[in-house]
Structure 1
Amino acid sequence: MTDAPILIRSVEVLSDDWATLKKFTFDYRRRDGTLERQVRQTYDRGHGAVILPYDPERGTVLLVRQFRLPAYVSGHPGPLVEACAGLLDEDDPETCIRREAQEELGYRLRDTESVFHVFMSPGSVTERLMFFIARYSPDDRIGQGGGDRHEGEDIEVLEVSLEGALGMIDEGQIVDGKTIMLLQHLKLKGLMRASAHP
């Protein structure tokens, strides 16, 4: 055993389809110094980026609504309201999220700002998600959005007030973690003016 807290003994690929599921067997050194054999699985689908565009003049944000099978089979019957997001593939996070904003939202975003880079479900998922915000205005709209039909996307674009979106969290209409984090970030930073927008 080295100074590292674990020594990996074996790695088995259980599935390699849309994502890769691996089974790890490793020795873990506990804080009291004893060794313990453990087995865990990791789900690797790559890293991603998410963005929340906001219009400080009108007090609005852009969100999407789409069907998510994992949420559905976990008891959420309707589509999820989320911030625009996507996998990096071969791109850097900023390039990825600008592309996703055009495909999903129909907006060309210029001044993106990175706010944090986090693991969303570190107990089993290897993905790190880069969070962005960006100012937008109606003049930045270049298309209808809706996502990539060839990838099975069927995305509805929503423009709501920040206060309205925060109310949707309270009412259980927004249950997506990354979206809640970005909405609360905007509120805590005081980046928005009050708005009468619904």
Structure 2
Amino acid sequence: MSKMSSVSDESKLTATIVSSTRLSSGFIKLDRVEFDTAKHAGGRQRVTREITDRGHAVGVLGYDPDRDEVVLINEFRPGCLVAGDPAYTDSVVAGGMSADESPLEAAVREMQEETGLELYDPVLAHPGAYVSSGGSTERMAIVVGFVDTNGAGGVHGNAEESEDILTVVVPWQKFMLRVRDAQITDLKTLVAAYWLAEHRDRLRAQRRTHR
């Protein structure tokens, strides 16, 4: 048996779409796609997968450096309920991006829609990572920005989309305890949390400097 390298030569790995059949055209599009793919050990094979397409999205963590608090939202998550987990969970603000929006523009809009708060000086923490590349085309950008949590709260959201979203203000240390204790189960929220943990001191100093 030949010994395979532990590092793939990606330049020699190619894949093409052979056929695609639309199975559903709802809010989330579903296609059955047949691929012709290269094998790492040589040769090729045909693979069929079902792929979802719901566009791209942005996750937004609002941070108040004066009060050292973050803004999360709590809403009904159907996927969690179907999986047998609690149906209402805390996460960062998030939403789909339109074709003519940048992640920063979408972040400002979503923060206003879902919490009623204005997002200041947003920073692009990540331009877009695949949510589940084995079965979805969706990429999620991560944005972190400043908010003023004074008076933050209440229920917000787009009624036309049946959104019923509670604004949740959490002290930074308590938030990170929930992250470390695996009480936060939303992946985009974890990514935003660890990014802010790394950059929090710099952002707080930056905020003081620009006052």
TM-score normalised over the length of structure 1: 0.88
Give the one of 42, 51, 66 matched to 1:57. 66
1:130 matched residue in structure 2: 141
> In the superposition, relative to structure 1, how do residues 190 and 100 fare at CA in structure 2: closer, same or farther (>3 Å)?
closer
> In the superposition, relative to structure 1, how do residues 140 and 100 fare at CA in structure 2: closer, same or farther (>3 Å)?
farther
Distance 1:140 1:92 in 2: 29
Distance 1:190 1:21 in 2: 39
1:174: Cα distance to partner?
1.6
Q: What SS does structure 1 have at the residue aligned with 2:168? A: strand
2:22 matched residue in structure 1: 13
Q: Deviations over 1:108-153 (max 9, x none)?
A: 1131100112112111111111110001224796x95511122101
1:53: Cα distance to partner?
0.9
Q: What SS does structure 2 have at the residue aligned with 1:71? A: helix
Counterpart check, 1:121 vs 2:132 = yes
Q: Which has the higher contact order (CA 8 A, sep 6+)?
A: 1
Give the one of 140, 147, 161 matched to 2:157. 147
Paired residues, what number? 190
> In the superposition, relative to structure 1, how do residues 78 and 23 fare at CA in structure 2: closer, same or farther (>3 Å)?
closer
Identity of aligned residues (%): 29
Contact 2:13 2:40 survives alignment (8 Å): no
Structure 1's consecutive aligned runs of 4 or more residues displaced over 6 angstroms after TM superposition are none
Q: Deviations over 1:13-50 (max 9, x none)?
A: 11111111111112111123301111112100000011
1:88 matched residue in structure 2: 97
Structure 2 unaligned segments of length 5 or more: list them.
Answer: 1-11, 205-211
Distance 2:184 2:13 in 1: 40
1:74 matched residue in structure 2: 83
Contact 1:54 1:136 survives alignment (8 Å): yes
Distance 2:150 2:172 in 1: 19
> In the superposition, relative to structure 1, how do residues 78 and 4 fare at CA in structure 2: closer, same or farther (>3 Å)?
closer
Structure 1 unaligned segments of length 5 or more: list them.
Answer: 194-198
Contact 1:120 1:127 survives alignment (8 Å): yes
TM-score normalised over the length of structure 2: 0.82
Distance 1:59 1:154 in 2: 26
Distance 1:5 1:140 in 2: 54
Moved more, 3-12 or 48-57: 3-12
